[in-house]
Structure 1
Amino acid sequence: MPAETLIFDLVLHKLVQHVAPHGEQTHHLEHAVRTLYRRLTDDLRAESAARYDKLLAELYDAQTAERARLARELHDRAGYWLSVAHRGMEELCSPAPGAPAPLPARAADAVEGAHSAVLEAMHSLRATTTSLRLTEPVTSLETALEAALAALSTEVTVRLQMTGDEAWAPPDVKDEIFLIVREAVRNAVVHGSPGLVVVGVQIAPHELRAHVDDDGRGFAHQVRHSTDGVGLATMQERAEALNGRCTVTSAVGRGTRVEICIPLQEQTDA
């Protein structure tokens, strides 16, 4: 029983005893007032819950609309100019027959490095816009992960293990876990050259835990690739936004492990 109800019952009992200490109808009056109070508070709680759900839905719609807008802007503006730069650098790196003499070795190396950087930027932009276009809530985390992981690579074996009831996790948590796990697996496949990646998700009433283990080449934290580091930082920020944490452990030649823990009770109470 909520604390406020206990306090109300105590105050009501004292008040009725004070007003009519010896009346025969004291018990009936107290019961009637208590019943009326409970009905009113139940109605208010139901109305508040409905209002909360409506506001949450409106907030989610606004967020997904903004994400879609950002994806369009990034694709149409930044994506266009990256494509132009990419085509120009390809012509410099691989001139057509009859074109001017190739660049000096030093300049060619600089152009090749810039070309690689543009390719990486295009890949990151494509991954970002894909994530932003996730405008529908993940109704089945397992189904969404199976589809996303199957599309990541045909050369790496990716296994998914899920336990628990998805109904315990709110839609926004499932959305963010989907994005974090997908990025963790992408990092493993692209940067770690593994033969096997194992994804585990455990859902309990009080928390959601996930891990991504790979048997790739791993890395030393102090020499981590910069673009990989951006992906890891994004994953950690997503977890922290849900009052959770995302940790990464790795060693050269011993693979990498990403662990995510999200408290679910705090999401429900928020």
Structure 2
Amino acid sequence: MSVEAGYEEISMLKEIAELLNEGTDTKAVLSGVLKKLLHVTGLQTGWIFLIDESGAHQLVADEALPPALANNQNQRMCQGTCWCVNKYNNQELHKASNIIECKRIEDAIKENAGETCGLTHHATVPLRAGQERFGILNVGSPNKTHFEKNELALLEAVAYQIGTALKRIKLTQWEQETALVTERNRLARDLHDSVNQLLFSLSLTARAGVEMTEKPEVRQTFSYIQDLAHEALGEMRALIWQLRPQGLEHGLVSALRSYADMLGLSIETEITGAASIPGKVEETLWRIGQEALANCKKHSQSTAAVLIFQASHRGVKMTIKDKGCGFHYDESLKIPSLGLKNMKARTKALNGHFHLISKAGNGTEIEITIPF
């Protein structure tokens, strides 16, 4: 390698390091790094898969994919399996590797799925930081069937930088989530110690006023104040529950059961399977469950609900339903309420599936499925 080429590689690694250190949006960061890598190395095509603990892959960045792979919004890249993903999942991919052929390209050719632009092979590099693994980086060019040692070494250096950045982003997100939980707990304590106590005192004062006066109009006023204070206390307790759920440390179903009791709902629960649920998934299901039970209390004209919770190593499914008044809902139309929209948005944020069934007079059912 010439001195000039060495300086060029060092400069490229520096620029990539700067890109990785500046961003916190995983997809945006990886897209920028991939584009820079291909530009400097002269390679034409690349893509990055993030792979979770279950072995499922997600396409998070791609550049100049041939039509055979890019058709239908990269559908061929987003589903199915291939040799490089299999090697990664089988713990056989430890460093940059020459892949003989690309299975996705091979399948596309067999199926006459579109132009491949001469792309047949690619190099594959695992993304990791220490012992923690995140996915793979794939790069290739038309008619390029082999990568030299120095090319693979450069790709490994970039992949190591990417892995380190992914670890940093993950830790940053964890810190932000921890800070959010801490702030929620602080706010819940403040509300309980100040506003909640003031409302309780107001309720007692109004009750004393009812007992101390004999004038009907004054008694009616104090009674009205007492009712308002009691209603506000109920709303405040529900808000504190939303900020800091009591019993979540004993499990999601236990916390939702306690929340239903607090709302005055009788709830029937059915649990199938067992699994260790990631914190983010548990938090999301907790928020959705709260909203669903609160809707049951406010709108269903029923005091009973059913909670079905199914868990496995692949994911969870939670169903909450009632036999209340229901409402007319057409899946082809937009979701009618902000609360239901929020439930769907929370589910989609974790690549889950949200399903709502409701008919006037036949109650409402909400089904949430979230993969791990």
TM value normalised by structure 2 = 0.48
Alignment of 1:159 onto 2:269: yes
Alignment of 1:212 onto 2:320: yes
What stretches of structure 2 of length at least 5 have no aligned partner? Answer: 1-45, 48-61, 64-121, 124-137, 329-336
Aligned residues: 227
The Cα shift of 1:62 comes to: 1.2
Of structures 1 and 2, the one scoring higher in RCO (CA 8 A, sep 6+) is 1
CA gap of 1:109–1:207, structure 2 versus 1, over 3 A, is farther
- Give the letter for the 2:175 counterpart: E
Residue of structure 2 aligned with 1:90, choices 169, 189, 207: 207
SS at match of 2:214: coil
Alignment of 1:256 onto 2:357: no
More strand per residue = 2
The Cα shift of 1:159 comes to: 1.7
CA gap of 1:233–1:10, structure 2 versus 1, over 3 A, is closer
Structure 2 Cα separation of the partners of residues 235 and 135 of structure 1: 24
Deviations 1:191-229 (A, max 9, x none): 76757522134569998653311234x3679xxxxxxxx
CA gap of 1:234–1:47, structure 2 versus 1, over 3 A, is same
SS at match of 1:101: coil
Instruction: State how 1:232-247 maps to structure 2 within 5 Å.
Output: 233-234=338-339, 236-237=341-342, 239-241=344-346, 243=348
Structure 1 window deviating more from structure 2 (40-49 vs 188-197): it is: 188-197
The Cα shift of 1:60 comes to: 0.8
Alignment of 1:127 onto 2:238: yes
The Cα shift of 1:247 comes to: 5.3
What is the Cα-based RMSD across aligned positions, in Å?
Answer: 4.3
TM value normalised by structure 1 = 0.62
SS at match of 1:197: strand
The Cα shift of 1:59 comes to: 0.6
More helix per residue = 1
Identity of aligned residues (%): 15
Q: Match of 2:152?
A: 35
Structure 2 Cα separation of the partners of residues 155 and 237 of structure 1: 22
Q: Match of 2:287?
A: 179
- Give the letter for the 1:9 counterpart: G
What stretches of structure 1 of length at least 5 have no aligned partner? Answer: 15-26, 222-231, 266-270
- Give the letter for the 2:289 counterpart: V
- Give the letter for the 2:270 counterpart: L
The Cα shift of 1:82 comes to: 1.1
| Matched-pair contact (CA < 8 Å) for 1:202–1:210 | yes
CA gap of 1:69–1:150, structure 2 versus 1, over 3 A, is closer
